Chain A
Amino acid sequence: MKGSEVIVKCLQKQGVKDVFGVTGGAIIPFYDTLYDYKDSIRTIMCRHEQGATHMAAGFARVTGRPGVAVSTSGPGGTNLVTGIMDAYMDSTPMIAMGGQVPTSLVGGDAFQETDMMGITMPITKHNFQITNPEKIAETIMKAFKISTQGRPGPVYIDLPKDIQNAEVNGTIPDDVHIPSYQPTIIPNPVTVKKAIELILKSERPLIIAGGGCIISGAQDDLVKFVNATFIPVSTTTMGKGIFPENHPLSLGVTGMHGEEYANYAAINADCMIAIGCRFSDRITGDLKVFAKGAKVIHADIDPSEIGKNVKVDVPIVGDAKSVLKMLLEVFVQIAGKRENKNSEWIKKLDELKEMTHAAEERDMKEMTQAKILTIFNKFKQDTDIVMTGVGQHQMFGEHYLRFKNPRTWITSGGAGTMGYGFPAALGAKVAKPDCEVYDLDGDGSFQMTIQELATAKQYNIKATPLIMNNGYLGMVRQWLELFQKKKYSGVEFESGNPDFVKVAEAYRLSGATVTRESEFLDALKQARKSDETFVVDVLVEKEENILPMLPSGKSLQQIIGGRTVFKQTWDQVK
C-alpha cells in the first residue's frame, strides 16, 4: 500500500469525512489518493491555507472532533501557521498536515522547503515529521489522540513527498498508547471537598465558566450544580453559551467588554470558582488587584494553567465535566438541599442587571451595532450558530447576543485572528449542514479571508456573513479615540472598501446592502431563505464605541464608559 493511502485510511478510521486544504507540489500523492477515496472523504479546496485552517477550526468547535487542514510545503505550510496558532490559543483540536520536500532533500534549502517543524513547534500541542514510512499509521493515530485527549490542541504532521509515495505495510493499529501523556480527567476528591467547604463558607460566590466547560460538554452538570447551590455564573468569551443566558443566575460575559454586573460580581465576590478557564488578561485586568478579596478555586485539566496568572487557594486538576459532577455530589453530601443562602448577593446583582439593561436600551440609536445586533438577537433561533471575526463587532456580539446552547457562539478568543469568522462559519456549516450558520463580521476582518467566498460557491456551503461595515478598523479606532486623542493612524478603510454585495455577485453569489434599520430584517429573511451564501452588508454608525471597556493593563475597578457601575471616564482612571 502507498504511504498516502495509509494516511487516508487513518483519516477514515478516525471518522474524517471532510478535508480542508490547498494542494501543491509536495502534497500531490496525498491528494492523488484522496481522489480515489472521494466517495468517503470530501476534499474541500480552499482559496488560501489560512482559510483551510479556520474551516477546520470551525468544524472542530461545533463538533468537538478535530478538523483536518492540509497544505503543500513551504509557503503552503507557512500559510497554515495563523490558523494553527489560533487553534492552539483556543484549545481547538486540529490535525494540520503539510507536504514536505523528499527526505533526501530536507535540510538543503530545496524549492518550497521550509522548516515547518521548527515553525510550528511553539504553536502546536505536538508535531511530527514522518521519516520512516512504516511509522505513518502509528504517527497519525497518535496525532489524533494527542489532539483530542486532555486539553485539546492542534497537531502538525510534516509529510515528506517520498514518504507519501513509499510502499508500506498497510496495517493500521486500533489504538496507540502514549505512556508519557496521561492527562488527569477525574479530580482528586480531597481538593473537591476543600472547594465545597470554601463555597459553603462564602457569602458572595461567583462561578466563572470558561471554554473548558464547553470542550468537556459540561452544560448539564453546570446547570445542575448552579441550581443546587444558587451561585451566579459569568462566562469568559470562550465559555459563552455553556450556561443558558436566559437563566436567572446568568451574568453573561465577564472581562474587558463584559457586562457591568458580571465585572461587579468579579470585583466583589468572596469566593471565585473558575472552571475550565485560564484567567487570561482579558478576564482579569491588572493581576495585582484581581480577586484580591476572594478565595479562588481553580479547576482545569491543564495543571500548568493553575497558578500561572492568579494565585489559587484550591487547585483542582481535572476535566470540567467530571469536576462539576463531583462538586455537585460532594455539595449534596455535605450541605444536603439547602435554601438560597446567597439571596442578598443575587438580589444586588439582579438589580444591577435590570438597571444596566434598561440603560442600554435607552441609549440605543438607529443603525448602531448595538441596535442591529439586538434585532439579530431576536431573529436568530437557539440552534443557529454564530461565528465572528475579530474587532468591535465581535465584542458587540458578545454583549448583545444571547445564547442558550454551547457551541453556538464561536469566536477567535485567545488569538484574536481577524478573518477567522467566514471560513470558520463554512467549516461549521460543513459539520452541521442542518444548522443556520452566521458569520458576524467587520469590514476589515471579512476582507482578510474574503476569497473563501469562492469556496462557499464551489462547494455550495451556506454561511451568512453579516458585515458590520463602519469603514474603519473599528476597535483600533475606538482605542485611538479614547486613548490617543482621536489620532486615527492607519484605521480608515472606507476609501478602499469594495461594495461587498458586488463582490458577492462577482463570485456568482448574492447579497443585500442595509442602509436603514428597517431593511435589516428583510435582509436577514432573504439570507435565511437563500440556498447559498448571502452577504449582508450593514452600513452601521461609523464611530460607535463598544462600552464599557477595561483599558488594557488596568484593573477591573477601572473599567470605563459603563452605564451603571462603571460610569467613570478614561480621564478619571488613567
Chain B
Amino acid sequence: MYDDAKKTLDPHYHTVALLVHDEPGVLARIANLFLKRNFNISTITVGSSTIPDVSRITISFQGDDKIYEQIVKQLNKLIDVIKVSDLPKETSIFRDLALIKIRTDDVEVQNKVMNYCNAYRARIVNITPEEVIVEMVGKPDKIDAFLQLVKNNLKEIARTGITAMSRSTINFEAVKKKKDKNAPE
C-alpha cells in the first residue's frame, strides 16, 4: 500500500514522456496498446505541451529492459505519437499531487495531522469538525510516507499520478537510443 514512489525508485519502473497529436482517441490508442501487448500502466497523466495541438503524456510502468524496449518501440509506431523520451530516475524531477481526506474526530488527532502537515509542507485546504482535506505536492515517496503516517485515519485519497521532467532539455532521441539497444547507432 502507498508505494507509488516505487515507480520512481525501483529499477524495474520506467517513466516516459510522449508528445502526441491531440487527436480524438489518442489516449485510447495508448491504453489499447498496453492492453493488447499485455503491459501494465502504473500511472498516466495528460496535459498540454508547448506546441499547439500537441499534448504531453507521462506514463510510468513496470517491466524489465526487454519490456521497456518493446513499449518504447510500440509507442513509437503509433501514428499519432510524435516522440517518446525516457525520463531517467537520476536526472529527472518527479512530482505527484494528492488530495487526502483524513478523519479527525478528536482534537488530539487533529493536532497530530496539523503537525504532520507542517513537517511535510502539506496544506490543509478544507476543514470540518470531523475531517480535513490535505493537499500535498511532492515526490511520490514523500506522499507515500505521509500516507503511511495517517493510514489509520484515512478516508479518501485522490492522486494525479506521476508527472515528470528531465533536468536538462530533453534530447529525446539521444535518451531513447541509450536505452534502446537495438536502435541503429
Contacts and interface: CB of A to CB of B under 8 A. Distances in A.
Interface string B60-74: 000000100110011
B73 A304 contact: yes
Interface of B: 21, 24-25, 28-29, 32, 35-36, 66, 69-70, 73-74, 76-77, 79-82, 181-185
B77 A190 contact: no
Contacts, number: 55
Contact of A315 (B24, B70, B76, B184): B184
Contacts of A315: 182-184
Nearest to B80: A180
Contact of B32 (A121, A184, A317): A121
B70 A308 contact: yes
Interface of A: 117-118, 121-122, 125-126, 129, 131, 146, 178-181, 184, 187-188, 190-191, 302-304, 306-308, 312, 315-317
Nearest to A316: B184
Nearest to A312: B182
18 contacts: A118-B28, A121-B25, A121-B32, A125-B79, A131-B24, A146-B79, A180-B21, A187-B184, A188-B185, A303-B73, A303-B182, A303-B183, A304-B73, A304-B77, A308-B70, A312-B182, A315-B182, A315-B184
Given A191-B184, A317-B184, A307 B69 contact: yes
B66 A307 contact: yes
A180 B82 contact: yes
Residue among A118, A180, A188, A308 with the highest chain B CB neighbour number at 10 A: A180
Contacts of A146: 79
A48 B185 CA distance: 49
Nearest to A304: B73
Given A117-B25, A181-B79, A184-B184, 5 more contacts: A122-B36, A304-B73, A304-B74, A306-B182, A317-B184
Contact of B29 (A121, A190, A312): A121
A302 B25 contact: no
A126 B182 contact: no
- The 9 tightest CB contacts between A and B, nearest first, are A188-B184, A304-B73, A315-B182, A126-B79, A180-B82, A307-B182, A122-B36, A306-B182, A121-B32
B79 A303 contact: no
A190 B182 contact: no
A302 B82 contact: no
B79 A178 contact: yes
Nearest to A150: B77
Contacts of A303: 73, 76, 182-183
Contacts of B35: 122
Contacts of B185: 188, 190-191
A131 B76 CA distance: 26
A190 B183 CA distance: 12
A181 B183 CA distance: 17
B153 to A, nearest CB: 42
Nearest to B77: A304
A170 B3 CA distance: 56
A53 B66 CA distance: 35
Residue among B29, B80, B183 with the highest chain A CB neighbour number at 10 A: B183
B173 to A, nearest CB: 13
Contacts of A308: 70
A315 B185 CA distance: 10
Contact of B79 (A117, A122, A180, A187): A180
Contacts of B24: 129, 131
Contacts of B73: 303-304
A549 B32 CA distance: 35
A306 B77 CA distance: 13
A126 B32 CA distance: 12
A179 B66 CA distance: 28
A120 B24 CA distance: 15
Nearest to A189: B184
B74 to A, nearest CB: 5
Contacts of A126: 79
Contacts of A188: 184-185
Nearest to B35: A122
Contacts of B66: 307
Nearest to A194: B185
